[in-house]
Structures are given as C-alpha cells and as structure tokens.
Amino acid sequence: MANSEYEYVKREFEFDRCLPPSNWIVVRIDGCHFHRFSKIHAFEKPNDKNALRLMNACATAVLEKFPDIVFAYGVSDEYSFIFREETEFYHRRESKILSLCVSYFTSVYVMKWKDFFPNKELKEPPYFDGRAVCYPNLKTIRDYLAWRQVDCHINNQYNTCFWMLVKSGKSEQEAQLALKGTFAKDKNELLAQQFQINYDDEPAMFRKGSSVYREKVETTVKIDDFGDPIKRPRLKVTVAHVDIIGPEFWENHQHILREGKILHWFVKKFGINHILSHCNWIVVRINACQFDQFSTIHSLDKPNDETALSLMNESASLMMEQYPDIVFAYGFSNEYSFVFHEKSELYQRQESLILSSCSSYFTSLYITKWKEFFPHKELMQTPRFETEALCYPKLKIVCEYLSWRQAECHAGNQYNTCFWMLVKSGKSEKEAHEILKGTLSKDKNELLFQQFQMNYNNEPAMFRKGSCIYRQKVEELAGAEDGDNDTTRERWHVKVDHVDLGPGFWRKHSWITTNCTQ
Ligand code: GTP
Ligand code: MG
C-alpha cells in the first residue's frame, strides 16, 4: 500500500489485539436467533438430525480448511473450535481468527443446506456470533470441553422429556411444571415408565454432542501393478459422538491436544503492550495507597496538612518539568491527575510505560523532597502511589473530568472540615458521623457558621479548590550580562493556582490546551 497522507488513519488508529501465546484458543460460535430459525424451517423437536448433520458438515469443512484447529465440539446451534496451543494463525490476531471461523462456517452452512434439506428452501440467511477465549493449559481446555458436554447432556435430557410430554398431549406449561425440580434419575424414570424409552438408547449424537477431529485411517493411496490397493495411514477429519469428559477418549487420542514446546524466542511475545488511542487526551491519575495510615504515622494535620499538600504540589510541578507533554495537573488530598496533550507521543503511547514511569518518578520526587518540607519529621513509611491511565477523545470531556475531581475535592473537604471541627469540640468520631449523615452542602456551611463561627468560604483556597498546575508566560529581565537591563524576555513558568475549573478558567487560559506551550 502506498504511503499517502491519509495512511496515518491506519498507523495510528488500527490496533490488532493479539491473543496471548502459549494458550489454547477456543472460538465458540452460536447461531443467532436459532429458536426462530429452527421454527421457520420446521426443524424436528427437540433434535433435528439433518440440522445437526449440517452443523457437523460445516465443522468438518472448517477443520479441513484450517489445519491449526485440532478439535471441535458441537451441540444444538453452537460449535467450539480449538486452535493448537502454539498456533501462529494470523499471528494470533483475535479479529482475524474470530471473523474467519464464523464467516467460513456460515458460508458452508448456506452452501450445503441443499445437501441436507433437499426439499426445504432456505427462507432466511442463517448467521452466527462468536467469541475467542484463551485457556492456559491442558486441564482448563479439557474442563472447558467437559463443561460443554455436561451442558449438552442436561439440556438434551430435559428437552427429550419435555417434548415427549408435549407430544403425549400435555400443554407446554404442564410439561414444564411436570419437570420442575426433577433430577437426572427422575427424568430417566419418567421416560422409561411413561414412554418406555431408555434414555441411553437415544442417538449418541443427541446425548453426547459431536466431536470433530483428525483420526488416522487406512487410506488407499494408489493401486499397485497387480491391481491391489496400497493403503497408508492418513489423517482424516472424523465426526464422533463419544464421551469426552472421562480420560479414555483422550488417552486413546493423545495426538489431538498435544502441549506445545516452549521456544526461547517466544517468551518475549508475552509482553503485550496496550497502546493508548491516538489523538486522545491521556490522563494519568496517581493516588497514594493507605494514606490514612501514612498520615497517622507522620501525624499530619487533620483534615488538611498544608505542608503535605505543598509537597504534593511541588512533586507535581517537577513532574511537569520532567514531562513536557503534561499540559495541566490537578490535585487534592492524596491524589494528582496529569493531563497529557492529545498529540503526546511519549513512549509511543504504550500504557504500561507511561503509567509506570509517571508513578515511579512521582514517588521518587515525593520521597526526595520530603526533607525539604518536613525537616523535623523523618519519613517512617515508604509512600506508595497507585496509578491509572484514562483516555479522553475530546477536550470537553477532559474539562468535565477535572470538574468532577474538583467537585469531589469540595465535597470531601467540606465534610472533613465539619467532621474534625465536631471531633475537636469534644464529639466522638461516631457522633460526628451521625450528625453529618444526610446533610447537604448548605447544612454543613450553616453548621460551621453557627457552631464554630466559621465561614467555609474563608478557608484556604488550596483546601477548598485543590491545586491546578499549568505553564504561564512570564516576562523576566534579560541580557544582564551585557549590561543591557532594558530588555525583557518571555519564559514559561510552572504556576500553582487554587481556582475554579469552570468554562471561565479555560477561556482565560486557552493556551494551556493548545500547542503554544510546547
Ligand atoms: P441467540 O443465540 O441468543 O441468538 O438465541 P437463540 O434463539 O439462537 O437461542 P440459543 O442459542 O440459546 O438456543 C438455541 C436454540 O436453537 C434452541 O433453543 C432451539 O430453539 C434451537 N435449536 C437448535 N437446534 C435445534 C434442533 O435440532 N431442533 C429444533 N427444533 N430447534 C433447535
Ligand atoms: Mg443461538
């Protein structure tokens, strides 16, 4: 494909999810609205032999087409396909694997319909949905298959009884009632006593579902000079209706689910990097873990410790120096959100690298700056920060996100201010919680005013509004070395502010979110 100016839409937006290596991949497909589909095509109830044979023929064709599928198991309108553990089919790209399986299966279903229903017209296009699931070892893949076969048994036993009762004259509701709460044993007895049916004599295809796999069969490969066939064992796709829950089948067919070899080159493929979508604003939010304990150990002031908040602000400001792509930061209490410019290419936008480096650098700053802010307090416990990355496609949503964090700051701080005033005035913590339960913002302001003569709005803005950090142009004297004191030059300065983050703020500071700070 030629590289056009538009090619970036692929390079930057299309990402293929690759299924992790060294896992068995199961693609399970299921007929969409087959309840209706089987009705309009008058399938026999509860099992239509031809419909099931058609499904099996499709599965056989799928195995013949895709050699990396080692086993398939089908029941009713569903089929599971198992890819060998070390398959490199389409480099394990999920969308390719899934879409090809489901599309090829459907295509064969339509093409072969006439072979199985020569006298029935296909009245509407059948279609299937599908999912891909990874199973890490032989045990889980065997258990997966056992789960499907147990399901087949339970459903089929129920459906056999249900339709026998209906065919004998009961209404569907009566049949349902008759079977409610019955066990497998009861159902077998019902079939034996009322209908002289031994459930175990029912066709194995109905009871056991269908297993599709390659089996060695003696195949005529050519005719010798005397006209006798020369036979050789060849792998041929086979359908069987057997028990796959117990060990016997697997002991006799060890070639099917063979575990792959671990190759040294392949170990590095486990490192799957998630890329944060291009042209999205990335928000990295850092939050101190178990900060309650940390603040108690270091006897930080309650509800707000100005020095601890200043240390958070200093660390965040230094983050902005280190990461030029951070255009804005907002923090309160023990958390900080860093907004990366939508065009940031930091670590090619690999989530794990962005997350880990931010988290680590912030932690490092916090610890190294601790002494400056708390010269008389030793750092007794190592602080830890958990970090997550969020992706926002529109600037408007980033602003909403920040407003949300600021609303949280306000609500939390107002509550905590009241709570600690009550506690300091002699109430127990439990009493203080009780008093504040269900109060609105207005009520809390009144409580502070009436009981403590405090005007909440006069509390420090850093506590009420949190801290915003952004770059601002400042003018400074330049050319001092030349003795020319008259000239000034502009410089970007990292500013910490405690203001409302409404639309007014963004209008007034429009440069923050445009390119001009870079
Ligand atoms: P979705 O899969 O959610 O789209 O719905 P669905 O209608 O396909 O139902 P679901 O997959 O849960 O169940 C499969 C349905 O297919 C059964 O409930 C039956 O109604 C129908 N079905 C499958 N095989 C046969 C069959 O051999 N005979 C008859 N009569 N119906 C069948
Ligand atoms: Mg279905």
Among 372, 366, 375, 371, which Cα is nearest to 313's? 366
Query: Nearest bound ligand to CA 38?
Result: 1
**Ligand 1 atom closest to Cα of residue 78:** 11
DSSP E strands, 94-188: 128-135
pLDDT (tens digit, 9 = 90+) per residue, 466-509?
Answer: 999 999 988 877 665 555 566 778 888 999 999 999 999 999 99
43 pLDDT band (50/70/90 cuts)?
very high
Average pLDDT over residues 259-273: 61
Measured N-to-C along each axis, helices 94-116 and 49-65 cross at an angle, to the nearest 10 degrees, of 140
With cut-offs at 50, 70 and 90, classify the pLDDT of residue 193.
Answer: very high
Residues 368-381, mean pLDDT to the nearest whole number: 94
Q: What is the pLDDT of residue 388?
A: 87
Q: Is the Cβ atom of 48 under 6 angstroms away from ligand 1?
A: yes
Note the pLDDT of residue 437.
95
Q: What is the pLDDT of residue 483?
A: 54
Spatial distance between the Cα atoms of 201 and 179, rounded to a whole number of angstroms: 21
- Which residues lie closer than 8 Å to 92 by C-beta, 6 or more apart? 18, 19, 20, 21, 25
pTM of the model: 0.69
Gap between the Cα atoms of 183 and 163, Å rounded: 17
Which of 133-147, 159-173, 378-392 reaches the highest mean pLDDT? Answer: 159-173
Please tell me the least confidently modeled range out of 116-125, 311-320, 482-491: 482-491
Alpha carbon of 76 to ligand 2 centroid (Å): 8
Is ligand 1 within 6 A of the CB of residue 32? yes
Does the CA dihedral 144-145-147-151 come out positive or negative?
A: positive
Task: Tell me if 77 CB under 6 Å of ligand 1.
Answer: yes
Q: What is the CA(127)–ligand 2 centre distance, in A?
A: 9
What number is the average pLDDT over the span 35-62?
97
Closest Cα to atom 32 of ligand 1: 38
Alpha-carbon distance values, 187 to 103, 166, 175, 461 (Å): 38, 15, 12, 73
Cα 175 to middle of ligand 1, angstroms: 19
| Residue from 38, 106, 131, 207 whose mutation best tests the ligand 1 pocket (most atoms within 8 A of CB) | 38
Instruction: Report whether pLDDT(114) > 50.
Output: yes
Q: Which residue has the higher pLDDT, 276 or 114?
A: 114
Distance (Å) from CA 36 to ligand 1 centroid? 8
* Separation CA 184–CA 16 (nearest Å): 45
Answer yes or no: is the C-beta of 34 below 6 A from any ligand 1 atom.
yes
Query: Mean of the pLDDT values across residues 444-469?
Result: 96
pLDDT on residue 516: 41
pLDDT at 518: 42
Report the separation in Å between the CA atom of 44 and the middle of ligand 2, taken as the mean of its atom positions.
16
Q: For residue 22, how many other CB atoms are within 10 A of its CB?
A: 18
Ligand 1 closest atom vs CA 31: 8
Residue that wins the pLDDT comparison between 387 and 274: 387
The set of residues, in sequence order, having a beta carbon less than 8 Å from that of 205 and lying 6+ positions away, is: 47, 49, 52, 241
Exposed, middle or buried: residue 333 (CB in 10 Å: 0-12, 13-18, 19+)?
buried
- Report whether residue 86 contacts ligand 1, using a CB cutoff of 6 Å: no
Choice among 233-242, 372-381, 421-430, 508-517 with the minimum mean pLDDT: 508-517
Q: Which ligand has the minimum distance to the alpha carbon of residue 155?
A: 1
Q: Give the pLDDT of residue 269.
A: 58
**More confident call, 357 vs 41:** 41
So what's the pLDDT on residue 484? 56
Q: Is 43 in the pocket of ligand 1 (CB under 6 A)?
A: yes
Biggest CA-to-CA distance, the chain: 115
pLDDT, residue 500, reads 96
Give DSSP secondary structure letters for 328-396: EEEEETTEEEEEEPTT--GGGGBHHHHHHHHHHHHHHHHHHHHHHH-TTS---S---EEEEEEEESSHH
CA pair distance 385, 12, nearest whole angstrom: 30
The pLDDT score that the predictor gives to residue 241 is 98
Which tokens hold the place of 494?
A: 């990292």
76 lines ligand 1 (CB under 6 A): yes
Q: Is the CB of 31 under 6 A from ligand 1?
A: yes
What type of residue sits at position 478? A
Q: Is residue 176's pLDDT more than 60?
A: yes
Q: In the numeric block, which tokens belong to residue 471?
A: 């770059």
Overall average pLDDT of the 372-395 stretch: 91
pLDDT value at position 206? 98
CA 148 vs CA 72, 155, 201, 211, 517: distances in Å: 11, 11, 21, 11, 59
d(CA 149, CA 28): 14
Which atom of ligand 1 is nearest the CA belonging to 45?
30
What does the angle CA 33 – CA 35 – CA 40 come to, to the nearest 5 degrees?
Answer: 100
| 128 close to ligand 1 (CB < 6 Angstrom) | no
Contact 469, 329 (CB under 8 A): yes
Q: Is the pLDDT of residue 173 over 80?
A: yes
Per-residue HEC secondary structure of 278-311 comes to CCCEEEEEEEECCHHHHHHHCCCCCCCCHHHHHH
Judged against a pLDDT cut of 50, whether residue 56 lies above it is answered with yes
Residue 5 pLDDT exceeds 90 = no
Report pLDDT for 472. Answer: 93
Q: Are 365 and 313 in contact (CB under 8 A)?
A: no
pLDDT at 515 over 60: no
What is the distance in A from the centroid of ligand 2 to the CA of 38?
10
Share of the chain above pLDDT 90, in %: 75
C-beta of 35 in contact with ligand 1 (< 6 A): yes
Per cent of the chain over pLDDT 70 is 93
The predicted pLDDT at position 360 comes to 87
pLDDT band at residue 1 using 50, 70 and 90 as cut-offs: very low
Ligand 1 neighbourhood includes 210 CB (under 6 angstroms) = no
DSSP one-letter code for 274? P
Ligand nearest to the Cα of 44, by number: 1
